[in-house]
Chain A
């Protein structure tokens, strides 16, 4: 059958995304992911004062700057051999949770569900409901999301001054104390958001919804009332399944989570087994076993990237990033290919909740696998869990009101050394690897969640996760490939991050 190459552009992701696919008939037979924009963020950090990373790296990204700040400060604390008091971690966690809730709701109801309003679905039974709920600036879910995500970021502003792009996490703690006023203002925001989430997004009480533990219970709940079926998550689920999103978009079955939110009382920087509120781990998709995570198993390959070649893969502390632009070779991207234990992995809320052991997500995964709908559904499941966790965190702060939020390090200067900061951003595993020599940054490597997903082939020729989740897919209209939009958007791609940071930064293209 004749092969043809098509280029596909995607909007409604954080940044721009282009794909080029090779089709036989309508089937995708080959795909590659290309980062085409060179920005050189790493070069800007080299030679600067170590703490400048707290100002520069949050600005890598418009939607997950808190996560970058958290990574950056953990790396500096490890280098300094210091930690921060429990209240500092509570505030850092609270702000990262608020940012994640914001991002998950915006991704779901501004980016993902808008595809259900596509004219292609005009004959589908759900079409009118989709437009009522999800049409940009008009649908009730779209407008509610605009309003309530704006408010939840107020929590970050209360403790950090502003969102996006503040630098309130500093080595030793955070800059603002948890006062009664700050806690009550945050609770008030959380109460309003929770009420809207219950009324509009899940159509039921938060605690009841979190009690759903299995696929059977969930589907029974969905059918139990019009309120459930016509809630935003009910519509998202029914529409996704009507068009078969529970049967596509699997990609690699290996999952990675760095663990989410440092345990305020159990955190030890540099520990081999750091404690988190949501567990870290590697889920081996072949055996189903969850194994302990070890950052030493991360390696980045450049065989198909525009960097000076080296053999195999290298750990980010030994990474080498020398641009070598070769547009007419078989190398095709500014992205490196990160691998974990030589395997292609995916990260994000689905991986996070499977590894942490959420019973509902585990049950749905065992029933149907890690499909595009479940990936999107897991993101909103996480929102519900985080609304609960944010309340607990505020209660803990209230119970420890007079405890310190900052402990001044004995030495103000960051000593020479190396440190890493690993966090779970909205999109999944985010890491900063930092080296300081002669009092200034000598190396700064960032691996973003999207870097794991958008990676090109590695030195063994293994496709990246997105590449593999598209190969085999049937595309009905290559000029308007809405199927690809659903699958790739279910990962919540953040191209700006991957673009700016991946060593030299890049924008993505996927191409056969």
Chain B
């Protein structure tokens, strides 16, 4: 449903202007489901070209490696995905589940879920890390829970229009994963001066106490707003790091783990000693309008 929210480009635009023909989408296709079987057969016999294979959802490998907790006509979906991936020009994992395993792979991982080419952070999922699609690309991971609508449609638009798709170390397109959630957060000034909220519903920064992972998470939430309007952190909801391979963290998601007064997880690449020095100075420099939380985020 997230992709129906895309507006730049929209799903309709992909169909109208990028020449994407949707062979099958379970919620939108008009043909009876029997058509899907014929389609799959045609693809596997190389009678139907498959340019883009978009996979949603964790790959269920249980029980005992059979994948039969998620069956399709008596066989495993896991096996089907593997076969289709071999036929496709590009394979795109839409969302953290398909990319890394996601919530279903959270402890105790009852159904033995993995991502397509990663198992959480560990390289190698359903497919080995060296696997490449027909176009010579690994699985392209548009992670997020859900994936950002415009990150999904823009990735597809880039692929079909020949724009370069450069990937990061987790095979996520850099165009959408080279920006911190923190960048563009309207609570930044509070973070800058170390004015931190300890209860919800206020105006300050959520990083020190309320579990916000904005400074450690790459995603476009605050540079390409959700539904064209806002983002969780702007609305006072912590970032839960849903584009990261270890989402959801195995700890209280609404509380920041700290050593002393300083979070365990620091903004990407920051040294603890430097950060402590900076924060104590920053608070001293804070103007009253920020200390008194007079500014609206």
Contact = CB atoms under 8 A, between A and B. Distances in A.
B104 A153 contact: no
B187 to A, nearest CB: 12
Contact of A176 (B11, B69, B235): B235
A421 interface: no
A236 B254 CA distance: 46
A98 to B, nearest CB: 10
Contact of A49 (B103, B104, B145, B254): B254
Interface stretch (A110-118, A222-230, A376-384): A110-118
A156 B2 contact: no
Contact of A11 (B12, B29, B252): B29
Given A56-B248, A161-B230, A143 B12 contact: yes
Nearest to A149: B4
Q: Is the interface of B mostly helix, strand, loop or mixed?
A: loop
B106 interface: yes
Interface in B215-260: 221, 225-238, 240, 242, 248, 251-255
Of A162, A179, A504, most buried by chain B (CB within 10 Å of CB) is A162
B7 to A, nearest CB: 6
Interface in A46-96: 48-49, 51-52, 54-56, 59, 62-63
Contacts of B70: 37-38, 507
B147 to A, nearest CB: 10
Contacts of B62: 38
Given A11-B26, A159-B235, A480-B34, A137 B111 contact: no
B12 A49 contact: no
A114 B1 CA distance: 17
A479 B38 CA distance: 13
Interface string A121-146: 00000000000000111000001001
Given A11-B33, A39-B110, A40-B110, A162 B221 contact: yes
B69 A39 contact: yes
Contacts of A54: 254
A62 B146 contact: yes
A153 B227 contact: yes
Contacts of A480: 32, 34
A157 B227 contact: yes
A52 B12 CA distance: 36
A224 B239 CA distance: 53
Given A11-B33, A165-B145, A175 B200 contact: yes
B92 interface: no
Interface stretch (A166-174, A262-270, A275-283, A363-371): A166-174
A161 B10 contact: no
A106 B11 CA distance: 14
Given A40-B110, A162-B226, A110 B200 contact: no
Contact of A173 (B106, B200, B231): B200
B248 A55 contact: yes
B230 A162 contact: yes
A38 B226 contact: no
A294 B115 CA distance: 43
A408 B237 CA distance: 15
Interface string A94-111: 000000000000100011
A393 interface: no
Interface size class of A (residues with CB under 8 A): 35 or more
B42 to A, nearest CB: 17
Contacts of A153: 5, 227
A237 interface: no
A137 B12 contact: yes
B30 interface: yes
B108 interface: yes
Contact of B235 (A51, A117, A160): A160
Contacts of A114: 30
A500 B236 CA distance: 28
A166 B146 CA distance: 10
A159 B201 CA distance: 11
B296 interface: yes
A105 to B, nearest CB: 11
A63 B12 CA distance: 19
A486 to B, nearest CB: 13
A341 B4 CA distance: 40
B33 to A, nearest CB: 3
Interface string A485-512: 1000000000000000000100100000
20 contacts: A37-B70, A44-B104, A44-B110, A49-B251, A49-B252, A49-B254, A51-B253, A114-B30, A146-B10, A149-B4, A157-B226, A161-B230, A162-B226, A162-B232, A167-B232, A168-B235, A168-B236, A168-B237, A175-B235, A406-B200
Interface of A: 9-16, 36-41, 43-44, 48-49, 51-52, 54-56, 59, 62-63, 106, 110-111, 114, 117-118, 135-137, 143, 146, 149-150, 153-154, 156-168, 170, 172-177, 179, 185, 404-406, 408, 412, 479-480, 482, 485, 504, 507
Question: 8 shortest A-B CB distances, which residue pairs?
Answer: A40-B110, A406-B201, A175-B236, A9-B33, A162-B226, A161-B235, A161-B232, A49-B252
Interface of B: 1-2, 4-5, 7, 10-12, 15-16, 26-30, 32-34, 36, 60, 62, 69-71, 103-104, 106-108, 110-111, 145-146, 199-201, 221, 225-238, 240, 242, 248, 251-255, 296
